[in-house]
């Protein structure tokens, strides 16, 4: 659903650019709290937050890789992951907006995928709308579903499914205001929503499988699973009652290292982008197909970085298609994980520093269960 230059006029592109910039600014502030880690495990200045920033960078790289895997949804039409739901559930809604925004920026600048003047449109539609809709649906479902891993996976499926047609509706509204071709908005809306409901099914499957896989291995790393542990039940006189809760035992960082998960995720991203992407569907995606059929692509402009060495997900001057595409995918994953991790580490450090300043004024220890006297001697 990458909108190219020329689909939306200049005034509306500028307005969506302001909306996107505002969303990124708000997300930068919100992401500091999300990257600090859960209270009692990482908290501000705690032990777990330092692992969240690299994982957020990995999520961005994984979304980049999976977006290269277009899957067929109808005759002559394909779709790909948008990633808003996946990012929001794994690392939080604010960080999720930033993850998808980093991906869109890398794609637009390096791979000529999604117009640069349309970057505000793409961030508003693919990063903001999908993430917000998905996370609101997800939080609503986990509140009413039984607590457990299956419920989180089911909620992830439904939220991802609904986020894609929501983005299609958002694009239609943007086009209704700033479209550059005189076409029937009703037909555009019907076509966009229809094809993106099908794409949403693929998005839901990918999101649910990924979230379920991470929960099965390390549920503590899933933002959407925080605080959803099922209380222990005891049977007393034939009735089930909640067992008394014991004080949480601090878990050493070394004992719960995220390194294996990070390496496995990075390896999967490299394999998907560098190898599996060769077998992706070559059919146009949902937006491209609708744009061609409905005539809204009449004023499409050439991309500003069409001469990029990596344009169209291939390495310039490498004639072997498989090698060219695979190498471009690996480069994309590497650049995205580096850029994303750098941004999130900076946010993490700034957020932790501000939190430590606030805690230090009161003279309290930043780590729950450890007195200030214990930390002063270290």
Mean pLDDT for the stretch of residues 25-35 = 93
- 37 against 280, higher pLDDT: 280
Task: Give yes or no for residue 283 having a pLDDT over 80.
Answer: yes
Report the C-alpha gap between 290 and 96 in whole angstroms: 27
Mean pLDDT for the stretch of residues 20-28 = 97
Q: Name which of 58-67, 75-84, 176-185, 353-362 the model is least confident about.
A: 353-362
* Alpha helices per DSSP H over the chain: 10-34, 52-67, 84-91, 93-110, 119-122, 130-144, 149-178, 185-217, 259-274, 286-294, 321-362, 372-376
Query: Is 271 exposed, middle or buried, given 0-12, 13-18 or 19+ CB atoms closer than 10 A?
Result: middle
Q: Which two tokens stand for residue 150?
A: 């299956």
The pLDDT, as a whole number, for residue 232 is 53
Mean pLDDT for the stretch of residues 216-224 = 91
Q: 356 and 366 in contact (C-beta within 8 Å)? A: yes
The pLDDT, as a whole number, for residue 112 is 95
Task: Give yes or no for residue 369 having a pLDDT over 70.
Answer: no
Cα separations in angstroms, 228 against 32, 89, 219, 285: 22, 13, 10, 37
Q: What tens digit of pLDDT does each residue of 284-321 get?
A: 999 999 999 999 998 999 999 999 999 999 999 999 99
The pLDDT, as a whole number, for residue 373 is 43
Averaged pLDDT of the chain: 86
Mean pLDDT for the stretch of residues 247-269 = 70
* 3-class secondary structure, 73: strand
Mean pLDDT for the stretch of residues 74-88 = 95
Q: Which two tokens stand for residue 103?
A: 């991906």
Cα separations in angstroms, 231 against 196, 270, 272: 39, 39, 38
The pLDDT, as a whole number, for residue 160 is 98
Burial 231-248 (b: 16+ CB within 10 A, else e): eeeeeeeeeeeeeeeeee
The pLDDT, as a whole number, for residue 349 is 82
Mean pLDDT for the stretch of residues 148-158 = 95
Domains within the chain, CATH numbers bracketed: 10-228+258-362 (1.10.1760.20)
Q: Which two tokens stand for residue 159?
A: 């939220």
The pLDDT, as a whole number, for residue 233 is 58
Task: Give yes or no for residue 45 having a pLDDT over 60.
Answer: no
pTM: 0.86
Task: Give yes or no for residue 376 having a pLDDT over 50.
Answer: no
- 149 against 167, higher pLDDT: 167
Q: Using 50, 70 and 90 to split pLDDT, how confident is the model at 268?
A: very high
* 3-class secondary structure, 205: helix
Task: Give yes or no for residue 367 having a pLDDT over 80.
Answer: no
Q: 301 and 3 in contact (C-beta within 8 Å)? A: no
Cα separations in angstroms, 47 against 124, 240, 246, 339: 34, 35, 20, 24
Contacts of 88 (CB under 8 A, 6+ apart): 96, 131, 134, 135, 138, 159, 223, 224
């Amino acid at each position: 659903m990458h909108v190219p230059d020329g689909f939306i006029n200049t005034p509306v592109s500028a307005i969506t650019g302001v909306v996107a910039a505002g969303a990124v600014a708000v997300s930068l502030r919100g992401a500091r709290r999300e990257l600090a880690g859960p209270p009692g495990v990482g908290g501000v200045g705690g032990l777990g937050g330092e692992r969240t920033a690299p994982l957020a960078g990995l999520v961005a790289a994984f979304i980049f890789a999976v977006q290269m895997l277009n899957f067929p949804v109808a005759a002559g039409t394909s779709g790909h992951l948008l990633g808003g739901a996946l990012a929001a559930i794994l690392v939080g809604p604010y960080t999720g907006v930033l993850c998808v925004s980093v991906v869109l920026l890398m794609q637009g600048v390096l791979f000529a995928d999604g117009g640069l003047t349309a970057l505000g449109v793409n961030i508003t539609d693919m990063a903001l709308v999908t993430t917000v809709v998905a996370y609101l649906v997800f939080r609503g479902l986990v509140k009413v579903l039984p607590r457990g891993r299956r419920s989180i996976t089911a909620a992830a499926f439904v939220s991802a499914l609904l986020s894609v047609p929501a983005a299609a509706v958002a694009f239609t509204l943007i086009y209704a205001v700033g479209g550059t071709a005189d076409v029937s908005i009703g037909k555009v809306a019907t076509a966009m929503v229809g094809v993106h409901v099908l794409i949403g099914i693929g998005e839901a499957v990918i999101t649910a499988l990924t979230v379920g896989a991470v929960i099965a291995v390390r549920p503590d790393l899933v933002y959407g699973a925080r605080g959803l542990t099922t209380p222990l039940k005891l049977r007393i006189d034939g009735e089930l009652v909640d067992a008394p809760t014991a004080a949480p035992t601090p878990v050493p960082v070394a004992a719960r290292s995220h390194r294996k998960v990070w390496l496995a995720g990075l390896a999967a991203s490299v394999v998907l982008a560098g190898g599996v992407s060769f077998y992706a569907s070559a059919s146009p995606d949902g937006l491209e197909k609708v744009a061609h059929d409905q005539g809204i692509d009449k004023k499409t402009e050439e991309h500003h970085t069409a001469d990029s060495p990596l344009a169209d997900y291939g390495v310039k001057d490498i004639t072997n298609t498989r090698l060219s595409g695979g190498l471009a995918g690996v480069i994309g994953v590497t650049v995205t994980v580096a850029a994303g991790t750098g941004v999130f580490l900076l946010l993490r450090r700034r957020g932790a520093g501000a939190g430590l300043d606030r805690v230090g004024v009161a003279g309290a220890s930043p780590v729950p269960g450890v007195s200030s006297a214990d930390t002063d001697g270290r």
